[in-house]
Structure 1
C-alpha cells in the first residue's frame, strides 16, 4: 500500500512537471492604465480559466498612444519587443512599414469561418494594410459630449433633447453660464492623442486632415473653419489649459458643465464623479450634425520576435480572445469604448438599456471615418507641431487663425515625405 502511495505521488509530481514545462509565457503591452487596468482585471480570470497553460505578463503601461509607439520603436532597436502590443489605430502603419508588426493572415487562415466569428469587416479594415490584416481592433471610440445635468439646469437645460447640437450653441451656453456665475463651464479635448479633435472638426465638414496623396488638406476653408471654431470656443468659454491627464478631474468633481472627450472615459468618470446626474450626448457639429468623425481607439498587434511556434500560437490565442465577443463585451462594460466585434452585440443588449451613457458612441457608429496617420518617419513630430499650435490658441499666444493656419501648413508640409 505504501509503495502504491509513493508511486502515485511520483506520478503526480511528474505530471505537474510536464504541465509546467508545457506552460507558455507571453508578454503584452497596453496603454492608459486608468482606462484598461479594470478591463484586464475582468478579462484575465476568464482567459486563465480557458487557457491555463498560457501565462500572460503585462509590461508597464504606455502613457498614451504616442508613448506606446515610441516605446515599441525603441524596443525593436534594442531587441526587447513584447509579443503583443496595443497601438492607436492611427499608429499601426508605422509598425507595418518598418516590419515590426507581423501579419495575422497565417493565423487567420487556420481559423474556421473567421469572418463569421464576429469581426466587422469595417473594423478589420482599420488594421488592414496592402490586403493583409496586421491588427485586430481591441477598443473603438468616438468623441462625445459629457454633461453635468445639475449645472446644465442652471441655464434651463433639463432634457437630453435640449443639449447643444452645434458649437455655436455650445458657445452661447458658455455666455449663459458666465452670467450665472460659472466662470469655467467647458473643457474641449484638444489635447487628446493624435490631434484627434482637429480631425473631428475636419471630418465633421466631410474633409480628411490629409489628402489621398498624403499632402496637407487643412490649408483650405475647412481647415480655417476648424481653427476658428476652436478659437471661438476657447475664448468665449474662458477655457483653461489642462493636460489630458488633468482634463477629466474638474468635470468629475462637478466643476465643469460641458466636457467634450472620448467615449472611452465614460466608465472611469462614472466611477469617480461626484453626486450629479451624468448624461452623454452626440458630438456637436459645425452649423449642422457632423458628416463624419474619426474612429479612435487601439488595435492588438503581434510584434513578437520569437520563432517558437508554441509562443506565437499563444500570442495569437490571447490576441484573438481579447478581441472576441467576450473580450469586446468586457471592454464596452468597463470603459465606454464601442465593441469592434459584432458577437458582443447580443451580449450587450440589456447592458446598453441599463447604461445609456455608454450607448452614445454606438448611435454615432455610422459616422466612423479613418483616424489618419501622418506618413513617414516624422509622423510623431507632426503630431507635436499641431499640438503646440493648438495649445497656443488655448493659452492666447495664437490669436490670428489665418496666420496660424499658414504656419502649420508650412511646418507640416516640410515634415511630410517628399513626393
Structure 2
C-alpha cells in the first residue's frame, strides 16, 4: 500500500512538473512578407532560435504578399485585436504603425543590453527605425536598386564596353540588342516595385526629396522630378520596355528572355538559382547617380506588437536573435539582401562577399543610402497608389509622350491627399 502511495505521489509530482513546464513555455506569433524570398531564411532562424531558447515557441503565420499588404493587414488586425507578436514591415511602412500606437517602443529592452553596439547594432542601423526619438524596430534586411545583366545577350549584341553607368548607355545597349536580331526583351525597369521605390530612386539619384521639410507640400514637381519622369518615359519608349507585372518580368529575366533587369538586390539569390546554367549573370551599380545624390534604402524591419510583458520580452528575444550577426548572415546567404548588422557585414560575411561579387555590388553602394520615404497621414497608401497609377499610364504607352503632363497631374493629386499644415 505504501509503495502504491509513493508511486502515485511520484506520478503526480511528474505530472505537476510537466504542467509547470508547459505553462512556462511562451508561444509568439511572427509574420513576415515575401515568402518567395524569405521562406528558407525564417525557417533557419526559427529552428536555431528555438534550439537556443527551448522555453519559447515561434509560430510563423502565413506570409504577407507585399509590404502594402503587410501594413494594411496589421491596421485591420489592430481593430479586431488579432495582431501577431512580431511583424516584419517595409522600412517605409513603419511610420504609420508608430503613429497609430501599434508598434511598441523597444528602448526599455535596448537599455538592458550590455554589448548592443558591439553586437553590430550601430546607430545608422537603429536610425532606420527611430521615430520621435524612440527606437520602434530593428532592421532585418536592407536592399538597394541594382542592374542585373544577361551577359550572353549583351555579348551577342556586340556590347564589349563596361556595364552601363548612365541611362543613356542603357538605351545604347537596348538599341544594340534590337539591332542584333535577338528575340528577347531589351530590358525591364522596376517602376512597379513596392512603395514607389524606383520613382524615389530616380529622384534621390538627383538628391531630390518627395516633400518639402514641412511635409505639407509636394517637392517632386521641380526640375529633378521632371528629369525623373522624362527618363522613365524615355526608357519605356526607346527600349520598347514591355508593360509586364513584376513577377512576370522577373521570371522572364531568369529564363534568359530579357537582356537587362533593374530591380532590388533582394531578388538576387532567387534569380541566380533560377538562371543557373542558362547564361552568365552579372550585377552592376544603379546607373546615373549624380554627385551628392543617393538611393533609398529598401528592405524591412521587425517590430514588436505584443503588449503583454512576458510575450513582449519573448518577442524581443526573438527579434534580437533574428537581427543579430549570425541571424543577419542568414539573410545574405539565402537572399540578395544586405544585413544591416555591422558585425555580419564586416566580420562574419567578409569572405562570403569575396566569393560572391554579385552580392557585393549593393554593399559597395551603401554610402549612397537615403530614406525610403513614407508619406504622412491617413492617405499615405493612397498617395503610393496615385504615383503607381501615374507611372502605369506611361508604362502602358497611354501617356508616354507627355511625361511633364503626367507629372503635373501626379503632383496635384498627391497634394490633395497630404495633411494640411498644422493638422
Q: TM-score range by the shorter chain?
A: over 0.9
Match of 2:71 in 1: 69
User: Is contact 2:144-2:265 (8 Å) kept?
Assistant: yes
Aligned-residue offset at 1:185: 1.2
Give the TM-score of the pair, scaled to structure 2.
Answer: 0.94
Is residue 2:299 matched to residue 1:333?
A: no
Quote the Cα distance in structure 2 between the aligned partners of 1:100 and 1:221: 38
- Corresponding residue for 1:315? 315
The Cα shift of 1:152 comes to: 1.3
Quote the Cα distance in structure 2 between the aligned partners of 1:290 and 1:156. Answer: 33
Which residue does the alignment assign to 1:86? 88
Partner of 1:146: 148
**Aligned equivalent of 2:28:** 26
Closer/same/farther in 2, CA of residues 20 and 289 from structure 1, 3 Å limit:
same
After TM superposition, the structure 1 = structure 2 runs for residues 60-209 of structure 1, keeping only pairs within 5 Å, are 60-157=62-159, 162-182=162-182, 183-209=184-210
Alignment partner, residue 218 of structure 2: 216
1:203, 1:290 within 8 Å by CA — same for their partners in 2? Answer: no
Using the TM superposition, give the Cα deviation of residue 116 of structure 1 relative to its aligned residue in structure 2, in angstroms.
2.7
Between the aligned partners of 1:43 and 1:120, the Cα distance in structure 2 is 21
SS of structure 1 residue aligned to 2:349: helix
Measured after TM superposition, the shift of residue 404 of structure 1 is 0.6
2:367 aligns to what?
366
1:241-272 Cα deviation digits (max 9, x unpaired): 12222221000001111000000001111121
Asked whether the 8 Å contact 1:85–1:302 carries over to 2, the reply is yes
1:344 corresponding residue in structure 2: 344
Cα offset for 1:13? 4.6
Give 1:157 deviation, angstroms: 3.5
- TM (norm. structure 1) is 0.95
| Structure 1 residues 50 and 340, CA gap change in structure 2 (3 angstroms) | same
Distance 1:267 1:35 in 2: 8
Report the equivalent of 2:45.
43
SS in 2 for 1:187: strand
Residues 163-184 of structure 1 deviation map (CA, whole Å, 9 limit, x = unaligned): 0000010011101111112351
User: What is the DSSP-based 3-state SS (H/G/I as helix, E as strand, rest coil) of the residue aligned with 1:117?
Assistant: coil
Partner of 1:294: 296
Contact 2:159 2:176 in 1 (8 A): no
Structure 1 residue aligned with 2:284:
281
Q: Distance in 2 between matches of 1:57 and 1:111?
A: 25
Residues 254, 274 of structure 1: 8 Å contact kept: no
Superposed displacement of residue 8, structure 1: 6.8
What is the Cα deviation at residue 101 of structure 1? 0.7
Matches within 5 A, 1:255-274: 255-274=257-276
Please report how far the alpha carbon of residue 358 of structure 1 lies from its aligned counterpart in structure 2 after TM superposition.
Answer: 1.0
Q: Which moves more between the two structures, 240-249 or 21-30? A: 240-249
Give me the whole-angstrom Cα distance separating, in 1, the residues matched to 2:420 and 2:145. Answer: 32
- State how many pairs are aligned: 414
Report if aligned partners of 2:150, 2:282 keep a CA contact under 8 Å in 1: yes
Kept in 1: contact 2:149–2:260 (CA 8 A): yes
Task: Tell me the distance in 1 between the aligned counterparts of 2:406 and 2:203.
Answer: 16
- In the TM superposition, residue 10 of structure 1 has moved relative to its aligned partner by 5.9
Q: Distance in 2 between matches of 1:12 and 1:342?
A: 46
Query: Which secondary structure does the structure 1 equivalent of 2:118 belong to?
Result: helix
Structure 1, unaligned runs of 5 or more: none
Aligned to 1:385: 386
Q: CA contact under 8 A between 1:147 and 1:280: conserved in structure 2?
A: yes
Measured in 2, the distance between the counterparts of 1:172 and 1:131 equals 47
Q: CA deviation at 1:111?
A: 1.4
Per-residue deviation, 1:294? 0.3
- 1:130 deviation in Å? 1.0
Secondary structure, in 3 states, of the residue corresponding to 1:162? coil
3-state SS in 2 of match to 1:67: helix
Give the deviation of 1:274 after TM superposition. 4.6
RMSD: 1.8
SS of 2:117's equivalent? helix
Shift of 1:5: 8.3
Contact 1:88 1:297 in 2 (8 A): yes
Contact 2:157 2:179 in 1 (8 A): no
Q: Give the CA deviation at 1:18.
A: 2.5
Contact kept in structure 1, 2:149 and 2:281, CA below 8 Å: yes
Residue number in structure 1 paired with 2:235: 233
Structure-2 separation of matches of 1:16 and 1:357: 51
CA distance in 1, matches of 2:319, 2:285: 31
SS in 2 for 1:280: strand
